[in-house]
Amino acid sequence: MASRIRSRLTTHRGTFTGPRSSEVHIPSILNCHCAALRVPYTGNAAGHNSTTDLSGLKVGPYPQRLWHSKGIGAMAGCVLAALFGMLSVVWYVLGGGVDEGQVEKETSEKIEKKERRKEEAKGIVIYTV
């Protein structure tokens, strides 16, 4: 048995040598299904008895034949979200930035208000029981 497993897993020139075709058993029902669908059940995916000839093999991408309302809505939503995102970036870049003088003025006004509140609070005594 060990020699049989070894013969299945040995490689020759970097290629896998699998089990012999006489050892592989394919259920006959699969052949019947393929025959009923007129799909060749011998050969490769294209139905040829060659490992390199894939002519006639149908491959995708398959064209979309019809747009449904959900697909149209999803596409419109994605496009609108992308447009709003790009417009917000442009608005941020081109929008009038705040200069340092304006920031300094707002900060000094906030500090002055805070100091006025502190001065007003000095005269108030809070009694707790």
Whether the pLDDT of residue 7 is over 50: the answer is no
Residues 56 and 53: their CA atoms lie apart, in Å, by 9
Confidence (pTM): 0.32
Whether the pLDDT of residue 23 is over 80: the answer is no
* Range 91-98 contact pairs with CB under 8 angstroms and sequence separation of 24 or more: none
The closest alpha carbon to 44, from 56, 33, 62, belongs to 56
